[in-house]
Chains A and B, each alone.
Chain A
């Protein structure tokens, strides 16, 4: 179905709500005296968007706005995930000491704009839309990262992010221009058709352009070697934004990456496996990138003493794990990747939340601030963080384990034994640094100069929900799996 502009609006509800919300917030910012309410309103808007997504009918899919966007279950999955990330980020922002010092109206407006942009990234059916959305996400991310404008680290991070992002996206559009030149179209489906049509495929040119495009997309998911901005930005940004970037932006990146590399560049065989373009061996390239990503992420994390930075490197490694599902070129793998991204959302959001809670109380983000946390009144955040970190490690009874289980299942099934071994070794290495905060919280005794940790009701609630979700979904993950299975479907209509 190729829907025109008006017909498309039926499937554009969440985005419309967000767009309207942005404007509403900007206006309300001028009108309202108590700016703190703005956060609640933004939360409401995000929730409404999520609800609208939840009510989307699962149809075979459609093109929206003259093949600018694609509406399918895959997009629904990522939009839901991004909306959830936005909700968590807003919720955290409401309870964050850092954010309270900023301009509330603008902050939430940009946050919603960023969410909106990520939605578009997940639905792009077109190189132009993909570039526009990606750049939109980037721009809002720069702003959000530098939002603490009196904070050196924040601005510094924003500048690095911006320069890095500018180069990455510049590289990407150069690559895209070649794809455009080879296929004569910006439309993913047409590109797919053009490239898979028998004939002389310009293998080298396609490969070069894919590498260049990968710079832009890989930079969004923070895969090695396009990852180097992530630690600085994660450390410099306000924690809710870090969380949002870590889970939302990364999810959007995965959405775009998957949509571009699978339906646009590959063809699905009857057995549920994907066939890459003949001669263009990006799967090997990505396999390599995947292994390097998780290894470097984990190794670098070993050295960190700042929790945000540690989680930043960890999230690089986690992206590497998720890529395992990507590189096996099967629907199994994609499902595992979707599942893992969901799991990653739950556990990483939880981990960052605890970091924020501790930072709120102590003003510190280094691991030493966690010394003896369990024994100085912070047993609940300590236990919660432990659950999240165990989940990130992939220990059973947590959703992280199930996520890894499906990933490894897909890898083993696809006979990527080297990848399996590398993944396994990485799991072991990662244990070491994930255990460090746990060790500090439980095994060390407090020095006495660390502040007390208090948790307000709302943070408590969110932490509880995330921790429970980590465990409950680790025991009963059927709904998530069903959701991921349902979302494996890409809409590709006729050319």
Chain B
């Protein structure tokens, strides 16, 4: 498989074409074609995972040829330690979300075609090493997302969809400008991110600051970082389950991935200088603020959405710490948040499918009627709380232990949020699953096989990574250590640390 990355990116495109050309009579075929495509993708991802060389920081599985030679744009795909974990996550979440989509019963062909397009876009972002290509995939992803939320979403779907679209478009045009700036004022005119990174010292610090902030805003919207986060609750609440899963599972990671891939690698001096404020402080605000907002939500899904904001804050704080532990933990947290939040959204979807509402206050005692579901939710909740033995624990510990060395005060806030997180999750669990049973929900079926099939693999991964995080950390460490070293070895004109 010499073109593994091309394959993994374009298999969904092929599936999309096939789905679109299906005759209307075979519209059920759409879901199975998607499933096969996602399955193939997952297999390739596992193959890549298996053959990945963890000892080098160089790009692997490279696919490269000139695309637009006049502007030095090339089709350049490759993975390093940072992206390979995201490739794996994307393949996994897409696979899961295809199955989570089986309940869709309106315009299936269009739905699955768009889902496949989204899949390709996300995968493309993670494997592109040419900035231009990266940007193309980055934006391409927006379109299917808009329709998937807007057509198959909830009652306020139009508002949510356009809000998502506008917000992220604003971010991406800033990235476009920054990208052009990097291109024209670099040591050489190129979009090749490896070359840009290698010549990072060419940019003046003033230039770096401006570009850094533009890029940061672009990526922060995706993360989403405070105060650019308000699209997320709306988008999540209105999106269909599978789309929420993708949104939380993969899309949010693109923001932090972008920061690592671009801000860190290409603008190390500005990173060194600005990270404490933009990643550290804002990350901490994310953590605390997200958790506190989650506490006050009455909508189950919105609560999970805010918890997502909170958890992504750890990623920001971790990468801002400039310690091996922090940055490793941050990327691991990206992976773990992907799996855990995917579970949470699937679980919300399960109850929404049955009750057709998500008001926390409207439930009660569901554990009696749906014990397996309640048990699975409990597992996911505790995973979300970072309970030791489950995957998020490792990443949060690494993040915080790393962050402590750089920003003790912020770390205290971040660590204290574990209490708040436990507070809102347990309270939610109590109100929905425990206590006296609300007879209105008699007759609700427990988890179906399909739902179980989407949840169990994620649960197993959460469990395994809790005791054997090396599976993912092993991929990351070399690349991240190198990246961290690059940033740390760059003298920043004024480093302000918040001790």
Contacts and interface: CB of A to CB of B under 8 A. Distances in A.
Interface of A: 375, 390, 393, 395-397, 401, 405, 408-409, 412-413, 420-421, 424, 427-428, 431-432, 435, 439, 442-443, 477-478, 481, 485
Nearest to B210: A417
Contacts of A431: 165-166, 169
B299 interface: no
A413 B185 CA distance: 8
B177 A412 contact: yes
B143 interface: yes
Nearest to A387: B143
B305 to A, nearest CB: 21
B166 A395 contact: no
Contact of A428 (B135, B143, B166): B166
Contacts of B176: 405, 408, 424
17 contacts: A375-B107, A393-B169, A396-B135, A397-B136, A401-B139, A405-B180, A408-B177, A408-B180, A409-B180, A412-B177, A412-B181, A424-B177, A428-B166, A439-B150, A439-B158, A443-B150, A443-B161
Contact of B184 (A409, A428, A477): A409
A401 B181 CA distance: 17
B183 interface: yes
Nearest to A413: B184
Contacts of B107: 375
B181 A395 contact: no
B139 A442 contact: no
Nearest to B142: A395
Nearest to A432: B166
A443 B157 contact: yes
B243 to A, nearest CB: 14
Contacts of A443: 150-151, 157-158, 161
B268 to A, nearest CB: 22
B135 A424 contact: no
A418 to B, nearest CB: 12
B191 to A, nearest CB: 11
Given A413-B184, A424-B173, A443-B158, 19 more contacts: A395-B140, A395-B143, A395-B169, A397-B140, A401-B136, A408-B176, A408-B177, A409-B183, A412-B181, A420-B177, A427-B169, A435-B146, A435-B162, A439-B161, A439-B162, A442-B147, A442-B150, A443-B161, A485-B70
Interface of B: 68, 70-71, 107, 135-136, 139-140, 142-143, 146-147, 150-151, 157-158, 161-162, 165-166, 169-170, 173-174, 176-177, 180-181, 183-184
Contacts of B169: 393, 395, 427-428, 431
Contacts of A390: 143
In the A-B complex, the 10 residue pairs with the smallest Cβ-Cβ separation, listed nearest first, are: A412-B180, A424-B173, A396-B136, A396-B139, A443-B150, A428-B170, A413-B184, A409-B180, A443-B158, A427-B173
A377 to B, nearest CB: 13
A481 B135 contact: no
B219 to A, nearest CB: 16
Contacts of B135: 396
Contacts of B70: 478, 481, 485
Nearest to B70: A481
B348 to A, nearest CB: 23
B165 A435 contact: yes
Contacts of B174: 424
B107 to A, nearest CB: 8
Nearest to B73: A405
A427 B135 CA distance: 16
Given A428-B166, A439-B158, A477 B180 contact: no
A477 B140 contact: no
Contacts of B183: 409, 412
A408 B135 CA distance: 14
Contacts of A427: 169, 173
Nearest to B153: A443
B112 to A, nearest CB: 16
Contacts of B142: 395
B153 to A, nearest CB: 9
Nearest to A444: B158
Contacts of A393: 169
A409 B179 CA distance: 9
A477 B68 contact: yes
A18 B161 CA distance: 49
Contacts of A435: 146, 162, 165
Contacts of B143: 390, 395
B364 to A, nearest CB: 35
A441 to B, nearest CB: 10
Contacts of B68: 477-478, 481
A328 to B, nearest CB: 12
Nearest to A409: B180
Contacts of A424: 173-174, 176-177
B141 to A, nearest CB: 10
A428 B173 contact: yes
A249 to B, nearest CB: 29
A396 B140 contact: yes
A457 to B, nearest CB: 20
B174 to A, nearest CB: 7
A442 B177 contact: no
Contacts of A442: 147, 150-151
B182 to A, nearest CB: 10
Contacts of B157: 443
A446 to B, nearest CB: 14
Contacts of A413: 180, 184
Contacts of B147: 442
A205 to B, nearest CB: 38
B30 to A, nearest CB: 15
Given A395-B139, A396-B135, A396-B140, A412 B165 contact: no
Contacts of A408: 176-177, 180
Nearest to A393: B169
A401 B176 CA distance: 11
A201 B261 CA distance: 53
A442 B111 CA distance: 12
Contacts of A432: 162, 166
A393 B143 CA distance: 12
A439 B161 CA distance: 9
Contacts of B173: 424, 427-428
A348 B150 CA distance: 25
A413 B151 CA distance: 40
A87 to B, nearest CB: 28
A373 to B, nearest CB: 13
B217 to A, nearest CB: 11
A299 to B, nearest CB: 15
A393 B142 CA distance: 13
Contacts of A409: 71, 180, 183-184
A291 to B, nearest CB: 15
A481 B68 CA distance: 10
Nearest to B135: A396
A340 to B, nearest CB: 15
A435 B174 CA distance: 20
A393 B174 CA distance: 15
Nearest to A379: B110
A281 to B, nearest CB: 25
A241 B98 CA distance: 47
- Among A393, A396, A413, A421, the most chain B Cβ lie within 10 Å of the Cβ of A396
A334 to B, nearest CB: 15
Contacts of A481: 68, 70
B5 to A, nearest CB: 18
B223 to A, nearest CB: 19
Nearest to B107: A375
B251 to A, nearest CB: 17
Contacts of B184: 409, 412-413
A439 B146 CA distance: 10
B415 to A, nearest CB: 38
Contacts of A428: 166, 169-170, 173
A442 B177 CA distance: 31
